[in-house]
Structure formats: C-alpha cells, structure tokens
Amino acid sequence: MRAFEIQEFGNLVLTEKPQPQPKFGEVLVKVKAVSVNYRDILMVKGLYHPHLNLPAIPCSDGAGEVVSVGEGVTKFKPGDRVAGIFMQKWRSGNLTKEGVKSALGGEVDGMLAEYVVLSEDGLVSIPSHLSDIEAATLPCAAVTAWHALMEAGLKPGETVLVMGTGGVSLFALQFAVMAGARVIATSSSDEKLERVKQLGASDVINYKSVPKWEKQVLALTEGVGVDYIVEVGGANTLSKSLKAVKMGGQISLIGVLAGAQAEFNPLPAVMKGIRIQGIFVGSRQMFEA
C-alpha cells in the first residue's frame, strides 16, 4: 500500500509499505478521506514533537470503510463506514497519560495511508448523511468544540465568543447555535465575518479594525461579558479573554496561535471566579455524543 511518511522533519515522502492485517480486536480500514489540522503541519515540521521517532505516518483525522475485522471484533463488519478517534485509548472519563500517548499522527502512526489498522474501540460509525470528506473533519476539530461547550453544559440563551474561523471555532459556532446560544465571532477578515453571520453568529468583530475587541464584547453584552470563550489564540489573547468573560464564566483553552508564552496575571480569574480549562480534543464517548 502507499503511505506518506515523515522520514526527516520538513517533508513528506510517498512510500510503499506492506498492507497491515488486523489482529484480535482490530479492524482494517481503507482510508477514503483525510483532513489536515494545524497540529499535523507542526508535526511534519518537527515543531510539535521534535523527538518523534521517525519514520512516522502523520495526520490524526480520517474516515473510510471497513475491509476486514480481526477475531473478537463485534462492533463493526466489512462495508461499515468509520472514522478514527483522535486518542485511541481515551474511551471515556478523564484524560490520562496513556490516552495522550495514543494520539494518531504522532507516536502512533496516523491516517495518511491507503489502509490503517485500528482497535475497534478506536473507531466510531459515520452517520449516513455525512460524506467521507465531511466525516474526516470531525475527530479533532468537532470533538474539541463539543468538549469545550456541550460537555461544559452550554444552555439556551447563554453567550459564546468564538475566535477566528478555523475548524474548532466554526464547529463551536454551529454547536452553540444548535444549542440556542448567542454567538459573538471575531476575525481579521470582513469577508469571513459575513460568512459566519450566515452560519448563525449574532454579532461579529474585526479584531484588526477593533484591536481592543474585549471592550466591544462587553458593549455587546451590556457590560456583563460572555458565558463561554473558545480561546484558540493562546497566551497573547488570554488577558483580553479574561476581561471579556463574565463573572463565573468559562474560558476553554484550545490553541496557541497567537503565542505560547506571555505574562499572565491570575488576579482577574480569581476575582471574577472564572473557570479556565485546557481542552485537548476529547474521548470516544464525546465523539459519539
């Protein structure tokens, strides 16, 4: 079979490899679609896991069709459409070190191959109304957004701030609208802001033309702030998020696009009773929800 490998950081090499065969409890999947996340790009460049053992097959997110199953498999049969979960050993409950180490496209070979073998517990069924391409976008971005909002107990009438128009933010926007929440979205592009309004955002802010966007958020919420912030910017935007969230609100830390290191004053979080939670994708149970 063909597969793309990271043989040295900075590039991918198309290689020929033996087609894997499923063992007890495993499933052989023909990969039909793969999506690329920011993590995958960093992985190839050697910036995410600089000590990764090479060669390695990248990309955590993919979908396909079951070809064959190993002995003991009961959840799937040949012909079933499936997607892999991001962390193969995080089935439910709290995240563990074992779960983190089982993330696809890192220490465990990923989906950028014609065929993959995964544990039956590391797969979920694809709904019939989704194409393979659509399903391939779900394992990382959609589950992360679900974890940040729906697992946190988002209620109708609450207000959510989503940053930018990346995959996690767009899924968070749609989940929030689905839940009956009000969404405020930010972007540096007026064109993209028009698009998110079409997806259901109630209010939009161009953070280039309004650099103190946290003040605009407060103005839009009558000085109260938002209930939830899906914080994808990182350290350099966190201080503004602390001002934009309401007392007792939640900031879900997703990414570090605006920087990984910055001075952080914890006092606003303490004085406002803010919950700050790191979100590292989610479990199989969250995916299936």
50 and 158 co-located in one domain: no
Cβ(115)–Cβ(30) below 8 Å: yes
- The per-residue pLDDT for range 242-253, each reduced to its tens digit, is 999 999 999 999
Question: Do 274 and 206 share a domain, yes or no?
Answer: yes
Return phi, psi of residue 72, to 5°.
90, -5
* Co-location of 207 and 260 in the same domain: yes
> What pLDDT is recorded for position 264?
74
State the DSSP code for 104. Answer: B
Distant-in-sequence, close-in-space partners of 173: CB < 8 Å, separation ≥ 6 = 160, 162, 183, 185, 196, 199, 200, 201
So what's the pLDDT on residue 42? 95
Residue carrying the six token digits 């220490």: 107
Summarize the confidence of residues 87-105 as an average pLDDT.
97
Quick one: 103 and 163 in the same domain? no
Residues 195 and 100 in one domain: no
Token representation of residue 69: 């199953």
Residue 182, domain CATH: 3.40.50.720
Which CATH number belongs to the domain containing residue 89 in this structure? 3.90.180.10
Confidence of residue 260 (pLDDT cuts 50, 70, 90): low
Q: Given this model, what pLDDT does residue 257 score?
A: 53
Q: Are residues 176 and 276 in the same domain?
A: yes
* Residue-wise pLDDT tens digits, 128-174: 999 999 999 999 999 999 999 999 999 999 999 999 999 999 999 99
Distance between CA atoms of residues 289 and 50, nearest Å:
34
Q: Which tens digit of pLDDT belongs to each residue from 18-50?
A: 999 999 999 999 999 999 999 999 999 999 999
Instruction: Say yes or no: 149 and 117 in one domain.
Output: no
Tokens of 65: 């069709």
Split at pLDDT 50, 70, 90, the class of 196 is: very high
Residue ending a domain, choose from 120, 136, 152? 136
Query: Residue 80 CB: number of other CB atoms within 10 A?
Result: 16
Collapsed DSSP state (helix, strand, coil) of residue 47: coil
| 118 shares its domain with 212 | no
Query: Of the candidates 82, 102, 136, which is a domain's last residue?
Result: 136
- Shared domain for 178 and 268, answered yes or no, is yes
| CA gap 104, 117 in Å, rounded | 12
Same domain, 88 and 161: no
The torsion defined by the Cα of 275, 276, 281 and 282, in degrees rounded to 10, comes to -30
- Pairwise CA distance, residues 210 & 13, whole Å: 43
50 in the same domain as 127: yes
pLDDT above 50: residue 258: no
pLDDT at 79 over 80: yes
159 phi and psi angles, rounded to 5 deg: -115, 135
Give the confidence band of 233 by pLDDT, cuts at 50, 70, 90.
confident
How far apart, in whole angstroms, are the C-alpha atoms of residue 123 and residue 141?
16
285 pLDDT band, cuts 50/70/90, is: very high
Number of domains in the chain: 2
**Domain assignment of residue 22, given as a range:** 2-136
Choose one of 88, 111, 136: the last residue of a domain.
Answer: 136
Same domain for 20 and 98? yes
